[in-house]
A = this chain, B = another copy of it.
């Protein structure tokens, strides 16, 4: 027997409809990409212009399910394209401009994007890739005619000309809530980028979950500054959350440096903001250098990579701003867990609270998590045992666009037993707080048990004379793998194997002790500053541990 409630598909056009109707005059402030000056508009105006975008898209032949790409900063025009495309059932494909031009071209071709909207700052990229693009028919520069760039390789339309004269009315929604809505590619360390295809339903449910009080908790009296870009997993849902709750929205455009962000925070009286740690390091440095304070900011969401302790302490202890440590993945829409403390934490001392906040946090409602061993058996929630982190929920990907990477590195389907394998290894403690301990592929598997490379590295970097430390698994005839400790010494230092192992002794389990230590001039780092373990594994793939000889 079915319930007798109304049909009201969860489509994202309803979010902007709600804002235009209930918060029509609420401001959306943007730092203009060309001038750096602030422009001001409202949800009602964005709604009207988004309807114009819909009409213009349809005039250019875009239909339900067609992909439309943006190469753009957070601006009011990006919001207009966002809702104008999604509202009619086209798929808004946010492209990350930080990728190599060849990757961008590959992604746009793979997505078969019909139209490319781009900010003027990205004109050089577009000029370079246009000859490579096989499906894009129209290039729209997100500006007016005076500022639109002229490119050698292709004709460019100014956004204001693109929508000029279009009616303020267009039909939105009216399709199945599972209709594709957004597309975002994620690039791993190996293989081609893979597209995550969000649905209207997943975006609406995720936004409602992400804005619960214990997560972002924004309301109509908040002023929200998403420094995290819309091309970075939907600006962590904020492009949906802010109009849903009627918050004033502040869009930073192209300027994410400390001074620019500070000016927006103070000038627009921002109460809630979100970005990756790098942005906050720039802001904190700027404020410290100029002896500045924050007068309105209450909460800052930090994700993308783990919150550094000094960033946490600076915000909470020096500036009185609550840090919300968030963890997620593009495949999770993206928020999976949130570091909001529980009554049990508040009952303990401040240092314990800081420690708890450095973990990745607890699952939102609509996110199921578990940690399992290689056979899929659940590991205990004791904060010590670690296992592969599997997740499930209405806003978690079940496969990639065009079935790319449908199997994981072990040849299993992405959605084995209904869960998505995050590729991370994590612990869960008694309170349900999750902590990432390693990437699954970096875990060392010794005699059927797992050794966390990151745990050993974190201790080893504390040893005298060590600039950086990496641990990788090296093949072993008896144990499958055993850990090899690779040390980059500080200039002039020359720590010995005996000194280093003595330093580790007592700090890690006996059977975690590296079988050997090698010194290297420079430990290779990836683009994001993390240790490039792939390169290390390649370098040391034929390395023979002393214990191997003994075992043979």
Contacts and interface: CB of A to CB of B under 8 A. Distances in A.
A488 to B, nearest CB: 40
Copies of this chain, how many? Answer: 2
B245 A4 contact: no
B208 A418 contact: no
Categorize the interface residue count of chain A. Answer: 35 or more
Given A212-B245, A214-B245, A5 B340 contact: no
A219 interface: yes
Given A219-B340, A220-B340, A394-B10, A3 B197 contact: yes
B220 A343 contact: yes
Interface stretch (A68-76, A199-207, A497-505): A199-207
B3 A199 contact: yes
Interface string A162-200: 000000000000001011110000000000000011111
A219 B214 CA distance: 5
Nearest to A64: B1
A342 interface: yes
Contact of A3 (B198, B248, B393): B198
Interface string A356-387: 00000011011010000000000000000000
Nearest to A15: B365
A8 interface: yes
Contacts of A393: 6, 8
A418 to B, nearest CB: 7
A217 B220 contact: no
A375 B153 CA distance: 57
Interface stretch (A254-262, A395-403, A441-449): A395-403
Interface in A389-435: 392-401, 415, 418, 420, 432
A364 to B, nearest CB: 9
A499 to B, nearest CB: 44
A246 interface: yes
Contacts of A196: 4
B197 A432 contact: no
Closest 3 CB pairs of A and B: A3-B199, A1-B65, A8-B394
17 contacts: A3-B178, A3-B180, A3-B201, A5-B178, A5-B201, A6-B394, A6-B415, A7-B398, A8-B366, A23-B342, A208-B208, A208-B365, A213-B217, A213-B218, A213-B245, A214-B245, A246-B342
Given A5-B199, A6-B398, A17-B368, 13 more contacts: A4-B399, A4-B401, A5-B197, A5-B397, A6-B394, A7-B394, A7-B398, A22-B432, A213-B245, A214-B245, A217-B217, A217-B219, A246-B342
